[in-house]
Every structure is written in structure tokens, then in C-alpha cells.
Structure 1
């Protein structure tokens, strides 16, 4: 893409989180205000000095916003040159009506984010979701399924340190996100963090302290932004296309997917008590030992409880508690579980398993059998079989 071609226009959707947090009497909080925009407008790596006259536009200059429904759109910005070809990018920040800590993220917020991307699809060349880090990988995973095969980039990013604080990593994460969405021939959902582009349905948050907060334990990063930009040769980037997003699937907002961690002493009655407490439950993630091992001896009652869940047409999926997971029905125990309809999660991360199940149970046109079959089918590169 040369500098003579039209600049790509990117929509940045602000949801709050650490990256947008400002000091308050109660500590740092992601309250919605235009200070976040002012910081970005004033940063030389994110706003071209030729876009604003620095003698007339300062941090404290007025900000003229536009109300879009309950959300706020800020004035368009233009980056400096982002690459050796002189490419710059235009972008707009669209702030959700309520900023939140990402630990408060629910399927309701995912519906809002997905709807905004969907309805603005034809207006922009790419999208950046500015998110808190706690549930950032979950957001990237669900967007991967909701925007399956769509021909534009959707990047999810955030920060470990707010832009309002010294040493914030948010500046570079935003810059790299604009680089990906504005200059690369890339389509799909990814996470940009700590100089890497990661696959959106493969990531997990592995550290609350390191700048490299996110990893994809089972696959390499798609791109490493070092002195030299390097790409994963085994998995070339999916090029942009004119493919529109699939019809929007409204996610169920009632509790529909439960997650249960297996521990020593787990019994079938303990499993069933958790399921019975949630009448709207349609799927269960069982985080098991090692390669998917469970206490399925007759005394524990676990196997009988799992069988009852499947008979109620509740999707039951077994993933591994290990940091580098792999659940495969190779041994006797795994085949026993498979025989009663319990599904192996292979190398799915918990975030992707959770997102995929919500995506499946939110589709009323699918039968229980079809949901089972589709769960075991790699859809967005979320797992290897």
C-alpha cells in the first residue's frame, strides 16, 4: 500500500479497561471522559503533527464530539507515517456509553460490540477493540466466531499500564494495532499485545504483571514486531477480501455455559448440584487433569452424572487444566467419556471453549447433534485435532 493510495479508515471501539483508566478518589478507574482522546490526540506516534497545528491545538483544546445513539464518536485522527512506504492511517474512536472494567464483561456487552462492528462494516476498513485485559482473550475468541471468514481485520488490544500513567505499554499496543489494521493485508480477528499479533481464538492471559500478558501456547504468534517484522511461515496471514460478515447471531445473555474445575474429591453430586442450580444451562466445560482425566470410578458418581447431563442435551466438553492443553480420546478413560457423548476439547484454550459453546447454544436452528458435531470441527483455527 503506497502513500498515493487512499488511507484506510479504522474504527476504534472504546470499552474501558486499564488502557483508558484515569486517577479517581477511589483509585484508577475506566470512567468515560474525553481525557483518553486528548491523550491520543497529543501523542506524536499516534497523531501526525501536520494534522493539527500545535500552536492552536493543545491537550486542553476543546473536543467536538458526536453522539451516536448512546455512544460518543470523537473527531477523526491521522497517524504519522507507519512504515517505510509512507503509509498513514485515519481512525476514529467510538466510545461505548459505559466504560467498564473488563472483569464485568458479559455476553450482553459482546452483543453491543458485535452489533457496532456489524452495522459499521461498510464504513471502515478495519476495527480495533480497546479492552481491559482480564477478559480480552474471551472477547477476541467470541468475535472470531461471530465474524467467521469476514474479509476485514478486527483487532483486540489493551494495556497493562493505563495511558494516564508513566511507562504505559498502551501507546505501542495502539500503534501496532493501527499498523496491522491500516497497512497489513490481513483479515480476521487477532490480539495485538507486546509487539505481537496473536490468533484471536488461540490466546489466553498468562500474566497480570508481564507486558507480554497474552500467549498462544499451542501455536506461534502470527507476527512478531521486532527490529525486523517476522511472520509465521506455517500459517500465512489471511488476506483481506470483500467477504461480508455472516448474519449477526445474538448471544444468549442468561447463564448458558458453566465452567467446572475438577479437583481431588469431586463427586457426581457436586457436579449435578452446580448444573441444577442454573436452569438455563445448555453447556458445561469440565477442566480436567492432564490429558482430560476425571475420577470416573463408580464410587465417585461422576460418570453417571455426566451421562445424565448429555441425556438432557447439555453439551459436555472436557478440556485440560494444563497450560499447554491436549485432550484426545486415545486412552480407555477418554474413550469411555466419548461413548456417553462427552466431547474432547483437544488443544482448546478455556477462552475459546467458552466462546465456541456460547456461539453454538445461541443458534436455535442447530439440533443438539449438530452442535456436538460442530464443536468437534475446527471453525476458526481455534483447535487442532
Structure 2
């Protein structure tokens, strides 16, 4: 697939949005923490694989040299950098780091932060040729999934990356993850949302975090990686991100920031009363993810009360979706349980990962322009290749 490589000799300009996370963590009295400071930029500025000497007018720039950052609202934009040559055509990439006003551990990520990230991408769409979101790994796949829906059909690449070991520590994988992200967004002719990690590009709405220890922290269990960035770069022939285009992003949808999507894990002994007790604690609930057994099986015997409880949820116009607890999921209405659930308006999650199901539901319930029936229909419609129906 040679055509995926850029034939444009001019440098592309990439915006790297820093949200914190492991990649930006520094030693503190309480341990490693993603506190916002210019040390993160200094590290990148000093790394020969990420920054060419041509980035600076002064060839004596060092780690301790002053940093002339610019305040953009509450956020900080650091001086523009240029990579060394990244491919055999001699292409290099210009990039700027735009740091959010507050760095956070990704376990603290909420739809409010997603709104902030999406707004920055949207507002800066015409200024840059692509975007990299620097994220903590715990919710990185959720962030990639929601951006996939918010920026579906947009004609530029948005890659999400991070690290298992901070840049501040020996053996950090963040260097190669960032370098690969710059290569993908800056030299390849593709668009869409992906995850760049451990020399792979994964489909943004298909990924899940499978290890807190392995450098290959993310996988897409139901589809192969889009790109393998090995000695020889290889591309999946069945799946691909769309090519770059002039297509603008769709109108930005502000996500509801009150809790709207409840996730419930089915286990032996689950009853309808237990399900409804959880719903009762969340009066703003608009959607429920049921993580069921196998191919979407639930206890539907009358004594458990589960089926009756799910029907009451649907009658209240709560989107109810069943996904599989299996590591390689596939929910399909083959057995009696599945067909019975369909008959009361419960939606099958097919091979959706939890991250994509959660993101798609938040995206849907945040759209007042859609009726309940339209939301149900759209949930069962693949939007960004997030599921196979």
C-alpha cells in the first residue's frame, strides 16, 4: 500500500494535546504524578529522535535553556519543534505541544475532560494537519472511542497515545510511542481516530487495555491492527483508516457531563431487584450496559425478575445494551435468551468492546435531536467500524 505515504514534500504541522497521564509523570514527594510543568516539554526538546537541531535558532539549546511558552486561555502552548527525518523520502514533521491547564491521571477522566479535548481539536482543526492526544493509559481506549464518534468522517488523523513508563524514567516506551504517532499523523495519508502504541496503530473504537505491565498494553481482540510499524511497515488489507480529505469534522456534540450511562456486570444470583436498585441510585440514567455471559445470555427465568426489570427500563426509554463478558466478544440472538431480550427492546452489542459501547451510548444520549427509537436504530448501525453486525 505505497499510496498511503505522503508525496507532499512540505512539512505537516501536528498539534499534541497533553492531558497528563503516565507519559508526563514526574517524581514528587508522593510518588510519580502528572503535575503540569515545563519539564515534560524540556525532555522532548532535548531528545534527538524527537527534535532536530534545526528547531532552534540557537544551536546551544539544552535541557536547562529557558522555555518561552504561550498562554492560550488556561492552557499552555510550547514553542514549535521539528523532528529529524522520519522516512526514506526525507520527510520531517513540525509539532506543537498544547498542554491542558490541569494534568490528571487518566483514571480521573470524565466526559467533561472529553468535551475539553474535543473542543480544542475542533477549534484548531484548520490550523493543523493532524492531532495527537497524549493520555494516561487507564482510560486511553475510552478516549479514543469517544473521539471516534465525535469526529466520524473528518478528514484528518487523530491519534491517541501514552506510555507504560514515564518519559522521566529509564526504559520509557513513551519516546517510541510519541515518535510513531508523529510519523503516522505527519507522514501518512490517512484520517480517522487510532491508537498508536507499541509500534502498532489500532482502530480507535475497537481497542481495550489488556495489560498494565506489557508494553503492548492495548489490543483489538476482534480485528487485527491497522498498521504494524516494524522494520517493514505492513498494513491490514481488510481494514483501513480512510484517506486524508478536506472533509470538516461534523458539528461538535457537547457530551452530557452528569452520569448517564450505567454499566452492570451480570454474575450468578443476579436478580431484577438488584438491577433496579442500581438504576434507582442514578436518576439521570439514560442508558445501561449489561455485561452478560457468553453470547449475551442472562437469567431470564421469571423467579429472577431480570427480564421484567429490563423491560421496565426500556419502557422508561432507557437504552439497554447487552455486551459479552468474554475477552473476544460476540453477542448474537441465537439462543432463546437472546431472542427474548430482542423482543422487549434490549439491543445486542455484537462484538463491541466495553469502551466503544460506553462511548457510543454517551454520544447517543447527548443528542437531543434524536428520538428514543432513532437512538436505538443508530446504536445498531456501525458508525466508525466499531462493530460487525
TM-score band, normalised by the shorter chain?
over 0.9
The whole-number CA distance in structure 2 between the counterparts of 1:109 and 1:340 is 35
1:7-26 alignment, distance < 5 Å: 7-26=11-30
The whole-number CA distance in structure 2 between the counterparts of 1:277 and 1:333 is 27
TM-score relative to the length of structure 1: 0.99
The whole-number CA distance in structure 1 between the counterparts of 2:342 and 2:7 is 56
Partner of 2:352: 348
Is the contact between residue 3 and residue 88 of structure 1 (CA under 8 Å) also seen in structure 2? no
The whole-number CA distance in structure 2 between the counterparts of 1:2 and 1:262 is 48
Partner of 1:328: 332
Partner of 1:268: 272
| Alignment pair present for 1:196 and 2:200 | yes
The whole-number CA distance in structure 1 between the counterparts of 2:322 and 2:369 is 24
What is the CA distance between 1:331 and its match in structure 2?
1.6
Is the contact between residue 3 and residue 87 of structure 1 (CA under 8 Å) also seen in structure 2? no
Partner secondary structure for residue 369 of structure 1: helix
| Alignment pair present for 1:338 and 2:342 | yes
Is the contact between residue 329 and residue 335 of structure 1 (CA under 8 Å) also seen in structure 2? yes
The whole-number CA distance in structure 1 between the counterparts of 2:342 and 2:139 is 30
Cα 1:296–1:195 shift into 2, 3 Å = same
What is the CA distance between 1:3 and its match in structure 2?
8.5
Is the contact between residue 343 and residue 376 of structure 1 (CA under 8 Å) also seen in structure 2? yes
Q: Render the CA deviation track for 1:7-64: whole Å, top value 9, x for unaligned.
A: 0000000000000000000000000000000000000000012323675210000000
What is the CA distance between 1:117 and its match in structure 2?
0.1
Partner of 1:139: 143
| Alignment pair present for 1:315 and 2:338 | no
Partner of 2:374: 370
The whole-number CA distance in structure 2 between the counterparts of 1:271 and 1:4 is 56
Partner of 2:156: 152
Partner of 2:35: 31
The whole-number CA distance in structure 2 between the counterparts of 1:316 and 1:2 is 44
The whole-number CA distance in structure 2 between the counterparts of 1:56 and 1:326 is 57
Partner of 1:124: 128
Partner of 2:93: 89
Q: Which runs of 5+ in 2 are unaligned?
A: none
Is the contact between residue 19 and residue 131 of structure 1 (CA under 8 Å) also seen in structure 2? yes
Give the RMSD, CA atoms, in angstroms.
Answer: 1.1
| Alignment pair present for 1:184 and 2:188 | yes
The whole-number CA distance in structure 2 between the counterparts of 1:20 and 1:107 is 21
Among 135, 156, 173, the alignment partner of 2:177 is: 173
Partner of 2:294: 290
Q: Render the CA deviation track for 1:333-384: whole Å, top value 9, x for unaligned.
A: 1000000000000000000000000000000010000000000000000000
Q: Which runs of 5+ in 1 are unaligned?
A: none
TM-score relative to the length of structure 2: 0.98
Q: Render the CA deviation track for 1:228-263: whole Å, top value 9, x for unaligned.
A: 000001123310000000000000000000000001
Which stretch of structure 1 is more off in the superposition, 49-58 or 16-25?
49-58
Cα 1:346–1:64 shift into 2, 3 Å = same
| Number of positions where the alignment pairs a residue of Structure 1 with one of Structure 2 | 385
Is the contact between residue 93 and residue 182 of structure 2 (CA under 8 Å) also seen in structure 1? yes
The whole-number CA distance in structure 2 between the counterparts of 1:13 and 1:214 is 20
Partner of 1:247: 251
The whole-number CA distance in structure 1 between the counterparts of 2:189 and 2:17 is 21
Is the contact between residue 332 and residue 338 of structure 2 (CA under 8 Å) also seen in structure 1? yes
Q: Render the CA deviation track for 1:257-284: whole Å, top value 9, x for unaligned.
A: 0000001110000000000110000000
Is the contact between residue 185 and residue 237 of structure 1 (CA under 8 Å) also seen in structure 2? no
Cα 1:4–1:275 shift into 2, 3 Å = closer
The whole-number CA distance in structure 1 between the counterparts of 2:266 and 2:241 is 37
Is the contact between residue 6 and residue 189 of structure 2 (CA under 8 Å) also seen in structure 1? no
